[in-house]
Amino acid sequence: MPLESGIFLFSFGHLLADVFFFASLSAIQASNPPMAALTRLLKPSPSSSISFLFKSSFSTTTAVVSDIGSNFSEPKPPRNYQWVFFGCPGVGKGTYASRLSNLLGVPHIATGDLVREELSSSGPLSRQLAEIVNQGKLVSDEIIFNLLSKRLEAGESKGESGFILDGFPRTIRQAEILDEVTEVDLVVTLKLREDVLVEKCLGRRICSQCGKGFNVASINAKAENGRPEMSMAPLLPPPHCNSKLITRADDTEQVVKERLRVYNEKSQPVEDFYKAQGKLMEFDLPGGIPESWPKLLEALNLDDSEVKRSAVA
């Protein structure tokens, strides 16, 4: 692991928590003038803060995607991939982010998984979270930053470097705070027809023992309004998982539709935020994993066998 990545990751989790704290203070300041002086003292100035140092020292990319904006053509020192996977509920961002994470050797960090881990614990947050998540609403930024900072810090202590974030950032505020602490190289936004998304969410199953995800839906959507027909074979579990399958409590039709509404309202602007930075790569999924995976690798200029070979070298 390059030394820079180690130093960078040592601080990323802390930095995220700190920047969120300062950003929150600024919000309090706006509604509470006596807080202003304190905030001015505490808020790191963009030109001298650690976050600026991090950005300037490590604003690099492992330039695998050459055609996404001009950022990718500058020669920069190497560091690990810092990517974001984006897309509607059910689109498969977890599946593709996890495959890429294995291929590239960077951690796949899904805020939805962090939320579900917290939900399944008997911690003080879990009742409050269940209510929000099961209505298809977004959890507060404070809770998300807290969970994410803890996850990053745990990874840092194990020497993890780089990331593929999945489900974060999901609001403009989250994107702006992430931008304060580090540079995202690439945002992949996966696209799929909305009727197929709902069907996919309803077919989703998880093995309660091994944690693997499957999908029992067999999708055959007809051509409609200029959209081509689409078929996706189910992703069935092996026999030993069959009796242990569970469905996420928020994968009901009503909650999925609410999550799609929230996505369009809150997350669509995040796509525009990254588009303006020249970092967004939109990818229309042509079908299930067998059709989509090779095409996604091609769009990312990645070659499955080559990446594996260079990881071994």
Task: Tell me which stretch binds ligand ADP (CB under 6 A): 75-83, 129-137, 218-226, 299-307.
Answer: 129-137
111 binds ligand ADP (CB under 6 A): yes
106 binds ligand ADP (CB under 6 A): no
Of residues 176-205, which lie at the interface with ligand ADP (CB under 6 A)?
Answer: none
Cβ proximity to ligand ADP, 67 vs 131, nearer residue: 131
Task: Tell me which stretch binds ligand ADP (CB under 6 A): 73-81, 109-117, 214-222, 279-287.
Answer: 109-117
Among this protein's residues, is 205 annotated catalytic?
A: no
Among this protein's residues, is 227 annotated catalytic?
A: no
Binder of ligand ADP out of 92, 107, 112, 203 (CB under 6 A): 112
Among this protein's residues, is 204 annotated catalytic?
A: yes
Among this protein's residues, is 99 annotated catalytic?
A: no
96 binds ligand ADP (CB under 6 A): no
Catalytic-labelled residue, pool 43, 137, 248, 295? 248
Q: Report the nearest approach of ligand ADP to the CB of residue 246 (Å).
A: 14
Shortest Cβ contact with ligand ADP: which residue? 112
Binder of ligand ADP out of 19, 138, 177, 178 (CB under 6 A): 138
Q: Report the nearest approach of ligand ADP to the CB of residue 89 (Å).
A: 3
Among this protein's residues, is 248 annotated catalytic?
A: yes
Secondary structure of the chain in HEC code, one letter for each residue: CCHHHHHHHHHHHHHHHHHHHHHHHHHHHHHCCCHHHHHHHHCCCCCCCHHHHHHHHHCCCCCCCCCCCHHHHCCCCCCCCEEEEEECCCCCHHHHHHHHHHHHCCCEEEHHHHHHHHHHCCCCCHHHHHHHHCCCCCCCHHHHHHHHHHHHHHHHHCCCCCEEEECCCCCHHHHHHHHHHCCCCEEEEEECCHHHHHHHHHHEEEECCCCCEEECCCEEECCECCECCEEECCECCCHHHHHHEECCCCCCHHHHHHHHHHHHHHHHHHHHHHHHCCCEEEEECCCCHHHHHHHHHHHCCCCHHHHHHHHHC
168 binds ligand ADP (CB under 6 A): yes
Residues making contact with ligand ADP (CB under 6 A) = 89-90, 111-112, 115, 132-133, 136-139, 144, 167-168, 170, 174, 250, 259
